[in-house]
Structure 1
Amino acid sequence: MTTTKTLLLLPGDGIGPEVMAQAKRVLDWVQARSEARFEVIEDLVGGAAIDAHGVPVTDATVAKAIAADAVLFGSVGGPKWDSVPFEIRPEAGLLRLRKDLAVFANLRPAKVFDALAEASSLKPELVRGLDIMIVRELIGGIYFGEPRGIETLPDGSQRGVNTEVYTTAEIQRVGRVAFDLARKRQKRVCSVEKANVMESGLLWRQVMTGLQKAEYPDVQLTHMYADNCAMQLAKNPKQFDVIVTGNLFGDILSDLTAMLTGSLGMLPSATLGALKADGSRPAFYEPIHGSAPDIAGKGVANPLAQILSLALLLRYSFDMEAAAASIEAAVERVLAKAGRTPDIAEPGRAQISTTQMGDAVLAELAAT
C-alpha cells in the first residue's frame, strides 16, 4: 500500500513564491508518474508571516513543520522589513524552524555542471568536474551560543558579545553525517576549524580525530584551518571531497564554494536531523540564493536551485533516488541546450523567464 508523505511548502518572500511554483510543477510531475503520494501543505514564513501575523513564523506553522515528513523552504527577507525589531526580523523565522526541528547538519553540494564551467569566477580548468559536499553544523556554534547580546558599559559605550560553543556530542553527530556521506563518495573528509587560536576549534579537531579512528577507519580524515581552506578553495577546489565544519565557517565557506559553480541560483541544500527509530529524520530543504528582492516579481529568477532542493528532498527524505536523479539529469540537459535565466546567461544564448525554465525542465523530464 502506498504511503502518503506530508510535505510542507514555505515559499516565503521575494523570489521564493516564484521559484517554489516551478518546484511544485516538478513535484506534480513526479507524483503523476510514480506510486508516491504527497499531501502538500503551504504556509507563511518570514516577511509574509510578519505582515499576516506580526511574527516571522507562528507556533502553528512550526507545529506543521514538526509533523511533516519534510519541509521545502523558499527564501525570506527584503528591504520592506528592514525596520522591524531585530527579534522578529524575517530571518528569525528561519532560525526558529531550524532550531525547533533540531536539524543540525546542513548539506550544501557544490557541483559544476559542464555547461556552466565558463560561468565560474575561476578558470574553467579549475572547476570543470567540481563536486564538493560541505557539511555545516547548523544549530550550534557562535550563532546560538550564550552569553550573547549588546551591553552598555560603565563609561556609556557598548559591547557586542557572541559566544562560540560546541560540545562533544554536537561535534560527533555532524561528524557522523559527514563520514557517512564520504563513504558514498570518495571516502575523504576535510575537517575545518581554527584549532590554532580557538579552544572550541581544538576540541572540534580532537573529537573528529577520535571519531574517525573509532568508527570510520576506512575514511581518510584531514584537518585544515578555515582561512587556509578559503584560500585552497580559490586555488585548487577539486582537492576536496567532503568538508565538515562549524556554523560560522560553514556559512562563509559554503557561499565561497557556491560562487565557484557560477551562480547562487544553482545551488540547493538539505538540512537533516537525527535518525528516529523508524528510520525517518527531520529534514529541511532550501536553495541558498536568498530572497533577491531586486528581481522579485520580474519573472527572471532562476528556479533551478529550488528544483534541485526538491531532488535532494526526494533522495534523503523519501528514498526516491531514481526520481531525484532524473530531475538532476534533466537540469543538466537543460543547461546544455536551452535558454537560460539572466544570472547564468552567456553571450549568444537566449534569456528565458522563470516559468520558461520550469517548462524546459518539465520537457526534459517528459522526454525520458
Structure 2
Amino acid sequence: MKKHIAVVAGDGIGPDIVGEALKVLAKVGEKFGHSFTTSSYLAGGAALDSVGVPLPEETLKGCQASDSVLLGAVGGPKWDTLASNLRPEKALLGLRGGMGLFCNLRPAILYKQLAGACPLKNEIVGEGLDLMVVRELTGGIYFGQRGREDDSAYDTMAYSRAEIERIVRKGFEIAQKRSKRLCSVDKANILNTSQLWREVVKQVEVDYPDVQVSHLYVDNAAMQLVRNPRQFDVIVTENMFGDILSDEASQITGSIGMLPSASLREDSFGMYEPIHGSAPDIAGKNIANPIATILSVAMMLRYSFALATEADAIEQAVSKVLDMGYRTSDIYTEGMKKVGTNEMGDLIAQAL
C-alpha cells in the first residue's frame, strides 16, 4: 500500500511527539511492506509567527490533497492575547470545516498497567475501561449564529436531520465493530434540537437490529461516567456535549498523554491527533509522552487505510513496552523505568 500523509506538527511539544509517531509509522511500513510518504505544513502558532495567519491556504490545500492528516498540537500562552480570529485554535476549526470532518472519535482506555492512575475506586473500573465517544464535530452551538450587543450575547444551536443522521450512523457502525452497545446522549427534555436528535436515532436504529440502544440526558450521562463507566461502550452525541463528555472520560483513565483521537468525514479520510495540548513548557526537553500520538497513527491505519492488523500491532507494542515497565515522566511511578520522548518512541518501534 502507498499512502501520502500531511503532517502538521504544530506548536509546543507537537514536533517532539509527531517525530516519534512517524518513527513508528516508518517501522510499520518496513515490517508490513507499505510505503508512507509525508509532507509537512504549518498551522497554529507556528503559522502565525511565520506567515501571520493560523491556517495558511497552502496547509489546507495540502491536507485536502493527502490521504490522511497527522496533527500534533496547536496553541500556547504566547498567542493568548491575540484577537479571537487569529488564535491558533482557529486552525483546528478551519481544518475540520475545510475537510468536512464531521465525526470525532475519542476513545477512553484505561490500560491495566496504569490502573493506579485512575481517580476512581478499583471496584468501579474493575479490570479496565474501554469506551468510545463519537462526537458530531461541525454543527451545533459552536457553528451556529452568534452575536453580542451591549450587555447581551447569544449563541445558537442548530441541527438538520441530515447532520444528525450521518453522525448517528457512524456511531452505529462503530458499535457494530465493538460490543454492539450504543448510548445516545441528548437533552431532549429541554432542547428542540435534542428532540429531533432522539427522533432520528429511533428511526435509524431499525437498520442496526444487532445494536443495543439506550438514551441518556447529558447531565445524567456525566454522572454515570464517574458512577459506572463500564456500562458504556459507544456514546454518540452532539458537538458541545461530546466536547465535555469526552474530556471527562479521558480524565477517568488518569492520563491524558495516552489518548488518541480521530476526526473523519463520510469516506475514509481523517485527521488524527492526540487529545492533549501543546504543553510549551516542556517542548524540546525530551519529556513529553508520545504514546497518544503513536496511538493516533494506529487509529489512522485502522479507520483511514483499513489496516487493522497493523493498527493492532502498534497497540500491542505500546502494551508490551508498558508491561516492561517503561514510563515517561507523566505516567511514572516509583519502581518503573523512566524514559524520555525519544526513548519511548524507540522502544515502541523496537517492540513492533
TM-score range, shorter chain: over 0.9
Aligned with 1:131: secondary structure?
strand
Which residue does 1:228 correspond to in 2? 220
* Within-5 A mapping of 1:176-195: 176-195=169-188
Unaligned stretches of 5+ residues in structure 1: 153-157, 276-280
The correspondence for 1:65, drawn from 59, 63, 66, is 63
Per-residue deviation at 1:117?
1.1
Which residue does 1:207 correspond to in 2? 200
- On the 8 A contact 2:260/2:275 being kept in 1, the answer is yes
Aligned with 2:263: secondary structure?
strand
Structure 1 distance, partners of 2:110, 2:29, is 28
* Within-5 A mapping of 1:41-120: 41-120=39-118
Percent identical? 51
Structure 2 distance, partners of 1:295, 1:229, is 35
- On the 8 A contact 1:341/1:352 being kept in 2, the answer is yes
Q: 1:139-171, CA deviations, whole angstroms, 9 ceiling, x for partnerless residues?
A: 11110011x13222xxxxx32221111110011
Per-residue deviation at 1:357?
1.0
Which residue does 1:278 correspond to in 2? none
Per-residue deviation at 1:363?
2.1
Which residue does 2:231 correspond to in 1? 239
Which residue does 2:247 correspond to in 1? 255
Distance 1:136 1:298, change over 3 A: same
- On the 8 A contact 1:102/1:282 being kept in 2, the answer is no
* Within-5 A mapping of 1:309-348: 309-348=296-335
- On the 8 A contact 1:66/1:282 being kept in 2, the answer is no
Which residue does 2:4 correspond to in 1? 6
Structure 2 distance, partners of 1:97, 1:149, is 23
Amino acid at match of 1:251: D
Structure 2 distance, partners of 1:287, 1:198, is 32
- On the 8 A contact 1:6/1:40 being kept in 2, the answer is yes
Larger mean Cα displacement after TM superposition, 133-142 or 344-353? 344-353
Aligned with 1:222: secondary structure?
strand
The correspondence for 1:27, drawn from 21, 25, 28, is 25
Per-residue deviation at 1:349?
1.6
Aligned with 2:54: secondary structure?
coil
Per-residue deviation at 1:246?
0.6
Amino acid at match of 1:199: N
- On the 8 A contact 2:165/2:201 being kept in 1, the answer is yes
- On the 8 A contact 1:70/1:284 being kept in 2, the answer is yes
Per-residue deviation at 1:129?
2.3
Q: 1:25-56, CA deviations, whole angstroms, 9 ceiling, x for partnerless residues?
A: 11111122222112211111100000011000
* Within-5 A mapping of 1:294-313: 294-313=281-300
Per-residue deviation at 1:296?
2.1
Aligned with 2:32: secondary structure?
coil
Aligned with 1:23: secondary structure?
helix
Unaligned stretches of 5+ residues in structure 2: none
Per-residue deviation at 1:210?
1.1
Amino acid at match of 1:203: L
Which residue does 2:144 correspond to in 1? 145
Larger mean Cα displacement after TM superposition, 22-31 or 158-167? 158-167
Per-residue deviation at 1:95?
0.5
Q: 1:56-115, CA deviations, whole angstroms, 9 ceiling, x for partnerless residues?
A: 011111011111110010100001111111101000011000001001110111111110
Aligned with 1:294: secondary structure?
helix
- On the 8 A contact 2:67/2:269 being kept in 1, the answer is yes
The answer to whether the aligner puts 1:217 opposite 2:209 as a matched pair is yes
Which residue does 1:168 correspond to in 2? 161
Give the total of aligned pairs. Answer: 351
Structure 2 distance, partners of 1:356, 1:125, is 34
Amino acid at match of 2:172: F
- On the 8 A contact 2:26/2:36 being kept in 1, the answer is no
Which residue does 1:159 correspond to in 2? 152
Structure 2 distance, partners of 1:53, 1:216, is 48
Structure 1 distance, partners of 2:338, 2:149, is 51
Amino acid at match of 2:171: A
Structure 2 distance, partners of 1:42, 1:338, is 33
Structure 2 distance, partners of 1:175, 1:53, is 39
Per-residue deviation at 1:130?
1.0
